[in-house]
Amino acid sequence: MSGTGHLDGNSLRDQYAGFLSACPDYAATLPLDTVRATEFSRLDRLGHVYLDYTGGGLYAESQIRDQMSFLLGTVLGNPHSSNPTSSTSDELVERCRSRILRFFNAPENEYVAIFTGNASQALKLVGEAYPFSPDSHLLLTFDNHNSANGLREYAREKGTTTCYLPIVPPDLRIAEGAITSCMCQRDGDHDKLFVYPAQSNFSGVQHPLEWVDLAHERGWDVVLDAAAFVPTNRLDIARWRPEYVPVSFYKMFGYPTGIGALIARRDALEKLRRPWFAGGTITVASVQADQYFLHTGPAGFEDGTLNYACLPAVERGLDFLDSVGMETIHTRVSCLSGWLLDEMTGLEHGNGAPLVRIYGPADNGCRGGTIAFNVYDPAGEAVDHLEVERRANTWNISLRTGCFCNPGAGEMALGITKDEIVTCFTQADSRMTFNEFRQCIDEKSTGAVRISLGVASNFADAAAFIQFMKTFRET
Ligand SMILES: Cc1ncc(COP(=O)(O)O)c(C=O)c1O
């Protein structure tokens, strides 16, 4: 089944013409159609409609070819030694660090790139080492990813109070003024950490980067969770100067998986106190003296051996994105998501009942190409999101369902109250599976469907998805 297999040529052409006149900026992104044909031909050859870029990006074919021939023409040894193969690896690791900083316009004298396994591990590095105390404060947003929510457990252990900024339905944005009033109530000289996503992986909402300035004016350190933002938006770190920025590279360009980074301001890094040491993080450690000295800079935060054979592929991925142009990717994703939002909100059953309810902004302002929603029947009952996924699978459409590791956004979007959730947690002995939780919150949907766009998305993908959605329409 091809990406347009459910559409006849004329219908697709008509829709495309309408789309182009509604979003004239799309014309500037047409070179991406060639990129799709040359670098992502496997999508159409295998008939995939890929709509899960927020879950994981796709790699360009040239990234893999170049990495293969590089590996075949090089001998790499474990870094941190002066032998020739080790020196080669060391050189490549440092080159990759510089490339990452350059990509995000983070000046090398002010920032370092610390390699981690993914964005979650980057967040954990901050959480376990931030100087939380009973006097400090942690501020999170309701739509943080669970890997950011988890920081509250490190805070709790040290007696730090955590406060959450609520998101307000239906747009699922944070009310203007909420952030300043929350920060003003926590004045004083103590350590204060604000953690927020530049883009919500649930609703696609893009929170203002200006919040970094606002937080700094009030003495807060900022973790800008950029994992869902950077695959389709340019992040200029020198402009915003956040203390800590976690990213996962597979979300940006598909390969390699298993490598992320914590991009940290050098002065902010000095604030962190690691709770342990490991191979690679120390200059000296002694068993008899029961002492150790940590490396300064990134090495002090990189536990064990780096994924040195794959690291050069990160450079190739960044080169690929630069060659295509982040602005071009951004424009394409923005045009396609605007069209999808319009089409989805216009879908109706025969009795006039809406077919789709979007969770998050239904227009295209200050949002990325991630759209969360549920499908409804003519009586206004939600169709189980798992059923939507099951049917999408038969169309070879890859979308995602559930709460996307973002429980706060899910609770707000689906109208699940604190009392309902607390009751479920109280009923459970020690653990509860997601299915048991679904039964506990009966009558309510415990999840949503999410589609998301990226570098290889084209109009045919969007049109095929809308065609699929129309199969839920009852006349
Ligand atoms: C906003 C955000 N933060 C953090 C993460 C965690 O990323 P990873 O699973 O790659 O560690 C994700 C993953 O989807 C995300 O979207």
Tell me, using a 6 A CB cutoff, whether residue 51 lines ligand 1: no
The atom of ligand 1 lying closest to the CA of 248 is 10
- 305 secondary structure, DSSP code: -
> Looking at the structure, do residues 86 and 123 belong to the same domain, yes or no?
yes
Half-sphere exposure of 72 (CA within 13 A, CB side): 6
Structural domain boundaries enclosing 86: 78-322
- 144, 120 in Cβ contact below 8 A? no
- Final residue in a domain of this structure, among 322, 349, 375: 322
Share of the chain above pLDDT 90, in %: 87
Cα–Cα distance measured from residue 172 to residue 372, given in angstroms and rounded to the nearest whole number: 11
> Looking at the structure, do residues 161 and 284 belong to the same domain, yes or no?
yes
Tell me, using a 6 A CB cutoff, whether residue 227 lines ligand 1: yes
Catalytic site positions: 405
pTM of whole model > 0.85? Answer: yes
> Looking at the structure, do residues 159 and 237 belong to the same domain, yes or no?
yes
| pLDDT tens digits, one per residue of 264-278 | 999 999 999 999 999
Q: How far is the CA of 55 from the centre of ligand 1 (A)?
A: 8
Cα–Cα distance measured from residue 57 to residue 230, given in angstroms and rounded to the nearest whole number: 11
- Final residue in a domain of this structure, among 322, 353, 379: 322
> Looking at the structure, do residues 210 and 237 belong to the same domain, yes or no?
yes
Would residue 369 count as lying in a domain?
Answer: yes
Q: How confident is the model at residue 445 (pLDDT cuts 50, 70, 90)?
A: low
Average pLDDT over residues 89-105: 98
Q: Which of 312-316, 333-337, 415-419 has the lowest mean pLDDT?
A: 415-419
> Looking at the structure, do residues 289 and 331 belong to the same domain, yes or no?
no
Cα–Cα distance measured from residue 19 to residue 35, given in angstroms and rounded to the nearest whole number: 20
Would residue 424 count as lying in a domain?
Answer: no
Number of structural domains (the chain) is 2
Contacts of 343 (CB under 8 A, 6+ apart): 462, 466, 469
5 has pLDDT over 50? no
| pLDDT tens digits, one per residue of 353-367 | 999 999 999 999 999
Cα–Cα distance measured from residue 274 to residue 228, given in angstroms and rounded to the nearest whole number: 27
Q: How far is the CA of 201 from the centre of ligand 1 (A)?
A: 8
- Final residue in a domain of this structure, among 322, 341, 357: 322
Would residue 384 count as lying in a domain?
Answer: yes
Q: How far is the CA of 319 from the centre of ligand 1 (A)?
A: 22
Identify which of 52, 53, 54, 120 to mutate to test ligand 1's pocket (most ligand atoms within 8 A of the CB): 120
For residue 351, CA distances in Å to 96, 355, 383 come to: 58, 10, 17
395 has pLDDT over 80? yes
Which residue's alpha carbon is at the smallest distance from atom 9 of ligand 1? 120
| pLDDT tens digits, one per residue of 115-170 | 999 999 999 999 999 999 999 999 999 999 999 999 999 999 999 999 999 999 99
* CATH number of the domain bearing residue 386: 3.90.1150.10
Would residue 437 count as lying in a domain?
Answer: no
311 has pLDDT over 90? yes
* CATH number of the domain bearing residue 99: 3.40.640.10
397: nearest Cα among 340, 334, 474 = 340
- 371, 450 in Cβ contact below 8 A? yes
The reported pLDDT for the residue numbered 328 is 98
The reported pLDDT for the residue numbered 2 is 37
Cα–Cα distance measured from residue 52 to residue 451, given in angstroms and rounded to the nearest whole number: 6
